[in-house]
A and B are shown apart, each in its own frame.
Chain A
């Protein structure tokens, strides 16, 4: 395993203390950490899975947009944050590994370290209002 940059380590520590589901991916989109609230969506415990490749974790839930059209993995917020290094905010309907349909908002943003080092991205989920 590659050692993690301090910014990623601190992002994990923060995510571990928060009640919102949070995913952290590396610069290739591989999932390097998800917190306990995110485990319900992914249907797995981080302690059991460890890191997952993008194709692995993207397959653990389905996403549809407000019009009901499927959202492929590469069009999801966190994938856009990685590819374009831009913050993204989206509304989706997702069905996680637990089978529950959730209306969620997600904000994803790139992690840029000192000297413009691109370190990956973070996605935070909320249950959508209404």
Chain B
């Protein structure tokens, strides 16, 4: 399983010289299997560049959306495979309690927000609703469950069904500490706990500093410290801090990440998300 980060930023695309190392595009991650299975996690602005690379060989692409906030869907209308009928695109994401996933997507992919309607795309996607307790997509087993973030939001656990069963957990927007006087509780009482348990690689929300979190409780995001605590509770092997706040520039992220990792005695590796970074899980 090869995991490539095409967008690492949260909330709003933030291009510019001060974000060039960690990246300014919003959430998008490519997961590619040895047999050619291609999963795309979220459709933030990073998906545009990814889309231009997918014409060589891929017959089917599965796009897995965690939720429909703008920073996770804004790139949809610029995803080249949706304009190429030679590629079969499957789109997975959460419905709401009253609207289907297709109806929810159409709210963005329609005027006045976008000139082309979802159903009018040259290659409209095949829609699947999640959460899904156990879905096989090519060589991957995909588990999704609802997690703590405003509105219907899922996290994904993706396991390679071949070989040693390498596992990636993707929780880009996640506030497991919400409402708790002391975080964490036990793993079974923690949002996203089952998805992350023992994962080889955990990509997790680190939007805020501790001080910022105190002023944004309930916004659906975590501080870096909370992400480290969550990763330790889940027993992951590597944490990839992700979904950086637009106001956090490269130098500030360097300092914040270095201080946090130095302050904690961590039983796992930490590799901050940078746009273009690749991880190979075996």
Which residues of chain A in 81-127 are interfacial with respect to chain B, using CB atoms and an 8 Å cutoff? 113-115
Residue of B nearest to A113 (CB): B146
Query: Is A7 a contact of B146 with CB atoms below 8 Å?
Result: yes
| B186, closest chain A residue (CB) | A1
Asked if B180 and A13 make an inter-chain contact with CB atoms under 8 angstroms apart, the answer reads yes
Q: Cβ of A6 and Cβ of B188 under 8 Å apart? A: no
Whether B97 contacts A9 by the Cβ 8 Å rule is no
- Among A2, A6, A12, A113, the one with the most B-chain Cβ atoms within 10 Å of its Cβ is A6
Beyond A3-B193, A3-B194, A114-B97, is A16–B146 a contact (Cβ under 8 Å)?
no
Chain B: how many interface residues by the 8 Å CB criterion?
22
Instruction: Name 30 interchain pairs, CB-CB below 8 A, sorted by A.
Output: A1-B186, A2-B188, A3-B145, A3-B188, A3-B193, A3-B194, A5-B146, A6-B145, A6-B146, A7-B146, A9-B148, A9-B189, A9-B190, A10-B148, A10-B178, A10-B179, A13-B179, A13-B180, A14-B179, A16-B179, A16-B180, A16-B181, A17-B179, A114-B94, A114-B95, A114-B96, A114-B131, A114-B146, A114-B152, A115-B95
**A6-B146, A114-B94 known, 5 other contacts, Cβ within 8 Å:** A3-B187, A4-B188, A12-B189, A13-B179, A16-B179
- B50 contacts chain A at the CB level, 8 A cutoff: no
Does B191 make an interface contact (CB < 8 A)? yes
Q: Does B147 lie at the interface of the complex (its beta carbon under 8 Å from any beta carbon of A)?
A: yes
Rounded to whole angstroms, the CA-CA distance of A24 and B26 in the bound complex is 38
User: Which chain A residues border B96 with CB–CB below 8 Å?
Assistant: 114
With contact pairs A14-B179, A114-B95, A114-B152 given, residues A9 and B191 touching in the complex (Cβ less than 8 Å): yes
A12: chain B residues within 8 A (beta carbon):
189
How far is B38's CA from A26's CA once the two chains are assembled, in angstroms? 38
Distance A23 CA – B193 CA, assembled complex (angstroms) = 23
Residues of A within 8 A of B145 (CB): 3, 5-6
Taking Cβ atoms with an 8 Å cutoff, the residues of A that contact B are 1-7, 9-10, 12-14, 16-17, 113-115
Look across to chain A and name the residue whose beta carbon is closest to the beta carbon of B181: A16
**Complex interface: chain B residues within 8 A of A9 (CB):** 148, 189-191
Q: How far is the CA of A45 from the CA of B147 in the complex (A)?
A: 28
Q: Are A1 and B188 in contact (CB under 8 A)?
A: yes
Residues of A within 8 A of B178 (CB): 10, 13
In the assembled complex, the Cα of A4 lies from the Cα of B186 at a distance in Å of 11
Q: How far apart are the CA atoms of A115 and B178 in the complex, in Å?
A: 24
Closest to B97 in A: A114
Q: Interface readout for B95-129 with A: 1 if CB under 8 Å, 0 if not?
A: 11100000000000000000000000000000000
Task: Look across to chain B and name the residue whose beta carbon is closest to the beta carbon of A17.
Answer: B179
Within the complex, the shortest CB–CB distance from A118 to chain B, in Å, comes to: 14
Identify which of residues 189-204 in chain B touch chain A, using a CB-to-CB cut-off of 8 Å: 189-191, 193-194
Chain B residues in 8 Å Cβ range of A113:
146
In angstroms, Cα B148 to Cα A14, docked, is: 13
Among residues of A, the one whose C-beta sits closest to the C-beta of B95 is A114
Q: Which residue of B lies closest to A3 (CB)?
A: B194
- Taking CB atoms, residues of chain B closer than 8 Å to A4 are 188-189
Residues of chain A with a CB closer than 8 A to B179's CB: 10, 13-14, 16-17
Tell me the bound Cα distance from A113 to B187 in angstroms: 21
A3 to B147, CA, bound (A): 12
The answer, among B95, B148, B186, for a CB contact under 8 Å with A6, is: B148
Name the distance in Å between B103's Cβ and chain A's nearest Cβ. 15
Contact code string B21-50 (vs A, CB < 8 Å = 1, else 0): 000000000000000000000000000000
Chain A residues with Cβ under 8 A from B188's Cβ? 1-4
Query: Whose C-beta in chain A lies nearest to the C-beta of B152?
Result: A114
Distance from A5 Cβ to chain B, minimum over Cβ atoms (Å): 7
Q: How far is the CB of A116 from chain B (nearest CB, A)?
A: 9
